[in-house]
Amino acid sequence: MSGNDVPTDLAQPTASTWRKLYAVVLLELALIVVLLYALARWAA
Amino acid sequence: MTLLDWAVLVGTLTFICAYGVWRTRGVQDVEAYFRGDQSLRWPTIGLGIMATQASAITFLSTPGQAYEDGMRFVQFYFGLPLAMIVICAVFVPIYDRLKVYTAYEYLEHRFDVRVRYLGAVLFLIQRGLAAGVTIYAPAIILSSIMGWSLQGTNLGIGLVVIAYTVFGGVQAVSQTQKQQMVVMLLGMVIALIVIILRLPERVSLAQAVKLAGALERMNPVGFELDFNSRYNFWSGIAGGFFLALSYFGTDQSQVQRYLSGKSLAEIRLGLLFNGMFKVPMQCMILFSGVMVFVFYLFTMPPLFFNQSVLAQLATTPQAAEFRDLTQRYAHAHAAQRAAALSYLDALEAHTEPEPAKRALREAAASVREVRKSAKVVIARALPDAELNDTDYVFLGFVMKYLPQGLIGLLIAVILCAAMSSTSSELAALGSTSTLDLYQRLLGRELPKERGLFVSKLFTALWGGVAVSFAAFAALLDNLIEAVNILGSLFYGTVLGLFLVGFFMRWIRATPVLLAALLAQGVVLMVFVFSKLGFLWYNVVGAAAVVLFAAVFQLFMGKDAPSSVQT
């Protein structure tokens, strides 16, 4: 096995990493909604 | 179209199809045909998921919808990121553990074969019809604007997709979708930049947004709780969530995209990629439509956008009446243009903008009034003509105002979108027919070569059904809505089956089967007898299955045990 060969299992993100990723997706959605709402209020 | 446009169009499409066929040569068994070689990384999965959902209608109808109705359609997608998270956390690990080929295979593991048949048949009905619409929708618009034959365009799109999907199966679909999605994104970004650059010199981007806002086109978020309104924040979050959960979690055309992923982690990353980029992408497409609207405040648009209807109208006695209306339209548009400039002057001078805004709105109402009168005249002259011309707004603009080369690229975007979504649908229809129905009814696994032959045959047959349906379809109210409404009629029920399967482990096969049949009846009744916004059908269908299944289980007691606990 060469130095670059990492067993797949070790490369899998943990449950906590997934939870953080889910939180990022939710935060992005919230940010988009707030920005769109602010843009609409400014433009109206 | 010029020679340069044709070169861009033909070159792009030929490269993508040839690449797909070359990359998938030598597919020799059903496993590789339906699940690929399970080597796909997250960018390919994510782009494939986006390309499957983005049909040609997305690029034709959506900007037109924004032109007419503003950006509120974007709320339809607000539930999508939430659905991606639930699918990543709940659906995908189960599919991955059971190593299923189709989503409906899970239903047999959890309940019994009857529930699997029901899920598969509901999918085949709605997706089979939708595949016809995904070919027909761009064909009718392209044929009208480009002067191509409608049936020829239907056949052209259909045959190319059937050819590479039948030849290379899921791998061909995934490989071509990656390129197709890149072309689509690139094309739309360039188009948006060019549209903004084509605005009059004195109108800045900020002022263009202000003009759109004054005329109620910058309305992307509305918090009013109105159940009959098609798009608001609540219907987007709740209805959109259930629709996206059902579509991405249980529709084989999407499930097949990620089942061919290399690992659970790659699949989840691909789905989250879609969750992060879908809403911004739709914002961009809708904003393109809004900018076309602002452009047309300063350049007179056609009184009616579907030119083939106007050509027919010219031969009727109402032609003279329409010409008079065109003159009235020119006056109304000139007044609107002047009002728009006055509003900009007021903004620049930092004076009170309200009077100028009111005048602009009144001028816009006059323009709308003339357009309404024009539609009355068209309806009188041509009773069968489709009066909704919003699907023609964007492509009409592209053909008239975009530079050479870019027109070819935008037509390529539309054809890529048509082919990417149709190929996913055909591959999924083929796999569901072969694995969930034919092979299951046969009761044994098919030999390798025969299995591959049957799979290709079913894929080709569904291609034939889609092209035939496209040939006979009539133009519906608004094409993108028609596809979504059609999906929403069945998605809730199918989602309900899976939700009961995942979360209510005490419920067995017979109660859930009866509940699904009853729930489907309820959704169809709601569709026929109520004015409920269609996104809510997904909630009604899923909730009805869950509720009825619980009640039936309580009354029916024990049933055949599930074969696998999940």
d(CA B190, CA B354) in angstroms, rounded, equals: 35
Inter-chain contact A33–B212, Cβ cutoff 8 Å?
A: no
Cα B458 to Cα B170, B207, B347, B439, B449, distances in angstroms? 14, 54, 62, 12, 14
Cα B330 to Cα A2, B304, B313, B337, B408, distances in angstroms? 74, 13, 19, 10, 31
What are the sequence ranges of the domains in chain B? 3-296+399-473, 307-385
Cα B528 to Cα B265, B321, B534, distances in angstroms? 43, 38, 11
Contact between residue B480 and residue B65 where contact means Cβ atoms under 8 Å apart: yes
What does the pLDDT read at residue B560?
Answer: 47
Share of chain B above pLDDT 90, in %: 41
Mean pLDDT of chain B: 87
Question: Residue B134: pLDDT above 50?
Answer: yes
Inter-chain contact B218–A26, Cβ cutoff 8 Å?
A: no
What does the pLDDT read at residue B303?
Answer: 92
CB contact, 8 Å: B294 with chain A?
no
Neighbours of B320 (CB within 10 A): 9
Contact residues of A toward B, CB < 8 A? 8, 11-13, 18, 21-22, 24-26, 28-29, 32-33, 36-37, 39-40, 42-44
d(CA B473, CA B137) in angstroms, rounded, equals: 9
Mean pLDDT of B49-61: 85
More confidently predicted of A4 and B138: B138
SS3 B40: strand
What does the pLDDT read at residue A11?
Answer: 58
With CA atoms as reference, the chain B residue closest to A17 would be B265
Contact between residue B23 and residue B172 where contact means Cβ atoms under 8 Å apart: yes
ipTM: 0.82
Question: Residue B470: pLDDT above 90?
Answer: no
Question: Residue B566: pLDDT above 70?
Answer: no
Cβ–Cβ pairs < 8 A, chains A and B: 64
Inter-chain contact A12–B265, Cβ cutoff 8 Å?
A: yes
What does the pLDDT read at residue B479?
Answer: 56
B137, exposed or middle or buried, with CB in 10 Å at 0-12, 13-18, 19+? buried
User: What Rg, from alpha-carbon coordinates, does chain B have?
Assistant: 25
At B328, the pLDDT band (50, 70, 90 cuts) reads: very high
Question: Residue B206: pLDDT above 80?
Answer: yes
What does the pLDDT read at residue B473?
Answer: 66
Neighbours of B31 (CB within 10 A): 15
Q: Which residues of A touch B218 (CB under 8 A)?
A: 39-40, 43-44
B140-149, long-range: CB within 8 Å, 24+ apart, which pairs?
A: B140/B475, B141/B60, B141/B391, B141/B392, B141/B395, B142/B395, B142/B411, B142/B414, B142/B415, B144/B306, B144/B307, B144/B308, B144/B392, B145/B307, B145/B392, B145/B395, B145/B396, B145/B399, B146/B1, B146/B399, B146/B411
Mean pLDDT of B109-122: 92
SS3 B25: coil
Instruction: State the amino acid at position B187 in one-letter form.
Output: G
What does the pLDDT read at residue B229?
Answer: 67
At B90, the pLDDT band (50, 70, 90 cuts) reads: very high
Share of chain A above pLDDT 70, in %: 75
What does the pLDDT read at residue B336?
Answer: 94
How confident is the model over B261-294, as pLDDT tens digits? 889 999 999 999 999 999 999 999 999 999 999 9
What does the pLDDT read at residue B235?
Answer: 83
d(CA B335, CA B368) in angstroms, rounded, equals: 13
What does the pLDDT read at residue B484?
Answer: 66
Mean pLDDT of B453-480: 77
Class of the CATH domain delimited by B3-296+399-473 = mainly alpha
Cα B466 to Cα B14, B225, B250, B422, B463, distances in angstroms? 22, 38, 21, 9, 5
What does the pLDDT read at residue B562?
Answer: 47
DSSP class of B77 = G
Question: Residue A3: pLDDT above 50?
Answer: no
What does the pLDDT read at residue B364?
Answer: 94
More confidently predicted of A5 and B392: B392
Q: Which of B207-221, B266-280, B470-484 has the highest mean pLDDT?
A: B266-280
Nearest to B78 among A25, A29, A43 (CB): A29
Of B185-199, B322-336, B420-434, B439-453, minimum mean pLDDT range = B439-453
DSSP per residue, B476-495: PSSHHHHHHHHHHHHHHHHH
Mean pLDDT of B100-106: 90
From A36's Cα to the closest Cα of chain B, the distance in A is: 6
How confident is the model over B517-538, as pLDDT tens digits? 999 999 999 988 887 877 788 8
What does the pLDDT read at residue B565?
Answer: 43
At B22, the pLDDT band (50, 70, 90 cuts) reads: confident
What does the pLDDT read at residue B31?
Answer: 72
CB contact, 8 Å: B93 with chain A?
no
d(CA B131, CA B462) in angstroms, rounded, equals: 9
Mean pLDDT of B125-139: 82
